[in-house]
Amino acid sequence: MEAKLKKLENMADLLKTLGHPIRLFIIICLMNKKCNVSEIQQQLSLPQSTVSQHLRILKAKKIIEGERSGIEIKYSLIDDSAKKIVEFLLDNYEEIATNK
């Protein structure tokens, strides 16, 4: 029972992490391509510090990873469970996926 409870705690933690609109948007951005902070920031029209804060949270939870190339870091989605959850949401909220 303890192992099941731990698994449920991990699932709840993932949902909490994804439960912020900025982090959801970042995941959507990273589902099809790698992006740097500036690319994400331009799409969100938010300060770079705000975007960086959310990227740090996603990275700490091992949902995304960053790959350094010179001074630039390109982020990519690495957590399949997070991807499946966001795909489910997009399937059920088509207007978000199609930018309507």
CATH number for the domain harbouring residue 31 = 1.10.10.10
The Cα 38–Cα 41 span in angstroms is: 5
Tokens of 43: 């799409």
**H or E stretch covering 46:** none
The Cα 99–Cα 40 span in angstroms is: 16
- Specify the pTM: 0.86
Q: How many structural domains compose the chain?
A: 1
pLDDT tens readout for residues 1-19 = 788 999 999 999 999 999 9
pLDDT tens readout for residues 19-37 = 999 999 999 999 989 999 9
Q: Within 19-74, where are the H helices?
A: 21-30, 37-44, 48-60
Angle between helix 37-44 and helix 21-30 axes, rounded to 10 deg: 120
Domain that holds residue 33: 2-97
For residue 55, with 0-12 CB atoms within 10 Å meaning exposed, 13-18 middle and 19 or more buried, which class applies? buried
